Chain A
Amino acid sequence: MTGKVLGIVGRVYLALILFFLYAPILVMAAMSFNASEFYQLPFAYSGEWYERLWSNRAILSAAWRSIWIAFVVTGIATALGTAAAIALFRYDFPGKKVLRALLFPPIAIPWLIIGTAMLIFFFGIGLGRGTPTVIIGHVALALPYVIVIVSARLATFDATLEEAARVLGASPWQVTKRVTVPWILPGIVAGGLLAFAVSFDQFVVSYFLSEPGDATLPVLIYTSIRKGFTPEINAISTLIIAVSMSVMLLAARYSNFGGER
C-alpha cells in the first residue's frame, strides 16, 4: 500500500523536475511566437519570427552546420571515450590515477582559456582553421564527459562477468561486444547525448577556429553580444528542440537503451 503511495509521489516529483527542466524551454518557445522583439509581456501571438527565419539564410546554414558537426563529434567522442573508459576499468597499470585526473583540466578551465590556447597552438603547428579543426576541438572537449559518465556506469559492472566469459573461451573483443557493451549501453547513450550538447553549445572553439562565413549557431548567437539576438533565434531553437524530441521519442519507442532487463 505504502509502496503504491510512494510510486504516485515519485511520479509527481519526476513530473515537477521535468517541469523545472523545461520551464525555460517553454518560455523560449512561447517567445518565438510572441510579437514583441523585446520579449515583452503580455503575450501577443505572431508568426513573424518564423517567417523571418525562413528567409534568414545565415541562421539556417549556421544551424545546419552546428547539427552535422555535433553528430560527427558525438560519434567520435562516444567511440573513443567508451574505449578509454573500458580500458581504465578493466586493466591495472601504473599511472592510471594520473590519467583519470587529466580528465578534469578540460572541464575545470573556463572554455575561453582553452579556446584561446587552442587557437594559438593550432596556428603554431600550422593546422590553421576550418571545420576539421573545429571538430578536433569539440571532440576533445566532449571526451572527458563521455569517459566520466561511461566510467560511472562501469563502476556498477561486475568484473567477474567478464572473467566468466573469458574462462568460457570468449576473446577480449567478444567479451567487450557481448558482455560489457550491452551492460554499459545506457551509459554510452547518456555520454553521447551530453557530447552532442557540449558540441552543439560550444562557442569559443568554433569562434576562434572556423573560417569566416562558416559560423555555427552558437557563434552567431554569441557574436551578437553588442546588438543582441532577435526572437528568430528562439524560433530556430524551438524547431531544433521539437524535431529532436520527436526523433528521440520515436527512438525510445523502438529501441532499448535505458537498461531495461
Chain B
Amino acid sequence: MKRLLLAATLALAAQTAHADEIRVLNWQGYGTDIDWAVKEFAEKTGNTVVHEYFTSEQEMLTKLRTNPGAYDVVLVNSAYTAQAADEGLIAPIDTAKIKNFSDLDPKLTGTEALNPKGKLFGVPWTWGLTALAVNTNDFPEPPTSLSVLWDPQWKGRVSIRDDGLEAVQFGALALGQDMDNITDLSAIKAKLAELMPQITTFWSSENEWNQAMASGEFAVATYWSGSAARSISKGLPIAFVVPKEGAVGWLDSLAVPAASKHKDAAHAFIDWMVDPAFYVKWDAEGAPVSSNTKAIAALPDDSFNKKLVADPATVSRVHFFKPVSDADRETYLKLWQDLKAAQ
C-alpha cells in the first residue's frame, strides 16, 4: 500500500514536473505527428505535443525568425543548419539529455554540416536519397543510369521535382561534375535544356507524384527514398533505382530553437524520435532511414530501408551535399526559371 502511494506520488510529481506542451515545427505527415507516437510520448513523459507545419525550408526559417519562443523542436535539413545557427535561431544540443545518442551513426553526428562552430546544432534524425523511381510496367528491367531521363523513348513521361537546386544537382551528377563545387554551370544548363522537352510536369508533392505514376503519366521520375518505400507499401508498381552516376543524399535533423522555453521536454521528444522502438513502428508505415544504427538493425530483413543500407554499392554512390550559399541558390533558381520560362 505504502509503495503504491509512493509510486502514485512519484508519478504525480513526474507529471507536474514535466507537464509541458511542446510545439513542433515540421513538414506535415513526417514522423513527429503520428498519432500513436505522440500518444506514447505523452504516456511516457506527461508532455503533450502540438504541431505546426511549414511548406518549404524558407518558410521554416521565416517562422523561426518571426516567432521567437513559439517552438521547441524544429526539423532542419542539414543544408540549412549552418544558416539557422548563424542567425542564432537554434541552440546547440545537450547530447547528455539524448539517451540514445551513443547509438547514432557517428558519421552523421560528426558531419560538418550539423556542427557549425564546432558544436552539434541538430540531432541527426533521418536521411535518405533522391534518386530515380520507375514504373515497373514500363521497365521490366530497371535502368542503371541517369541517362534514362534523357532517353527519347520516354519523351513526355519523365518528371523531376520543381526545384532549381535539385535540378542543378542532377545535371551535375549526369555530367560527372562535383555538385558541391560546380565548375561548368553553362554545361549543366545545356544538359537541363535537353531534358526539358522530355518532361511532362514538375512534381511538387508525394501525392501528386503517386497520382501521376498510378495513372501512367510518369514512366520514370526522380523521387525520395522514404516516399518510394511508402508508395511501394501502398501497392504502386514502382522500383527505386540508385543510378551508377550517384544520387543526392539528404540529412534531416531535429533541432531546438534558441528561444525555446521547454528545452528539457524538447530533448526528451528528440530522444523518443531516435528511439528504435519508435523507428521500427514508423518504418512499417514507410519512413526514411534512421540515424540510429540499432534502430536499423532492429528492422525486419525485408524492410526497404534495411535492404537499401545493406547494399554497399548504393551507400557508396550517395552524395550528401554541402550547405549551399544564398547567392548560389539564387543563381540556380534564376537558371531554372530561365529554362522553364523558355518552354
Q: Are A227 and B55 in contact (CB under 8 A)?
A: no
Q: Are A227 and B214 in contact (CB under 8 A)?
A: no
Measured between C-beta atoms, what is the minimum distance from A83 to chain B in Å?
A: 34
**Stretch among B116-124, B202-210, B265-273, B309-317 lining the A interface:** B202-210
Asked whether any CB of chain A lies closer than 8 Å to the CB of B144, the reply is no
Asked whether any CB of chain A lies closer than 8 Å to the CB of B62, the reply is yes
Q: Are A212 and B207 in contact (CB under 8 A)?
A: no
Partner of A40, one of B63, B70, B214: B214
Q: Interface size of B by Cβ–Cβ distance < 8 Å?
A: 32
**CB-based nearest B residue for A123:** B66
**Measured CA separation A225–B28 after assembly (Å):** 8
* Residues of B close to A41: CB separation below 8 A: 215
**CB-based nearest A residue for B231:** A38
Q: Which residues, 266 to 321 on B, are CB-close (under 8 Å) to A?
A: none
**Measured CA separation A208–B53 after assembly (Å):** 10
**Measured CA separation A215–B63 after assembly (Å):** 15
Q: Are B66 and A119 in contact (CB under 8 A)?
A: yes
Q: Are A212 and B29 in contact (CB under 8 A)?
A: no
* Residues of A close to B208: CB separation below 8 A: 228
Q: Are A223 and B66 in contact (CB under 8 A)?
A: no
Q: Are B214 and A36 in contact (CB under 8 A)?
A: yes
* Residues of A close to B25: CB separation below 8 A: 212
**Measured CA separation A39–B214 after assembly (Å):** 8
Partner of A228, one of B66, B67, B207, B214: B207
Measured between C-beta atoms, what is the minimum distance from B147 to chain A in Å?
A: 28
The binding surface of chain A is classed by DSSP as: loop
Q: Mark B63-97, 1 if CB is under 8 A from A, else 0.
A: 10011001100000000000000000000000000
Asked whether any CB of chain A lies closer than 8 Å to the CB of B23, the reply is yes
Q: Are A228 and B205 in contact (CB under 8 A)?
A: yes
Measured between C-beta atoms, what is the minimum distance from B266 to chain A in Å?
A: 14
**CB-based nearest A residue for B72:** A212
**Measured CA separation A215–B27 after assembly (Å):** 14
Measured between C-beta atoms, what is the minimum distance from B234 to chain A in Å?
A: 6
* Residues of A close to B63: CB separation below 8 A: 208
* Residues of A close to B213: CB separation below 8 A: 38
Asked whether any CB of chain B lies closer than 8 Å to the CB of A226, the reply is yes
Q: Are B66 and A227 in contact (CB under 8 A)?
A: no
Asked whether any CB of chain A lies closer than 8 Å to the CB of B50, the reply is yes
* Residues of B close to A39: CB separation below 8 A: 211, 214
**Measured CA separation A207–B66 after assembly (Å):** 13
* Residues of B close to A223: CB separation below 8 A: 27-28, 53-55
Asked whether any CB of chain B lies closer than 8 Å to the CB of A51, the reply is no
Q: Mark A71-100, 1 if CB is under 8 A from B, else 0.
A: 000000000000000000000000000000
**Measured CA separation A38–B215 after assembly (Å):** 9
Q: Are A227 and B215 in contact (CB under 8 A)?
A: no
Asked whether any CB of chain B lies closer than 8 Å to the CB of A43, the reply is no
* Residues of B close to A229: CB separation below 8 A: 207
**Measured CA separation A37–B215 after assembly (Å):** 12
Known A119-B62, A224-B28; further 15 A-B contacts with Cβ < 8 A: A37-B210, A38-B211, A38-B236, A39-B211, A40-B214, A223-B27, A223-B28, A224-B205, A225-B55, A225-B205, A226-B29, A226-B205, A227-B227, A228-B208, A230-B207
A residues with a Cβ closer than 8 A to B are 36-41, 116, 119-120, 123, 129, 207-208, 212-213, 215, 219-220, 222-230
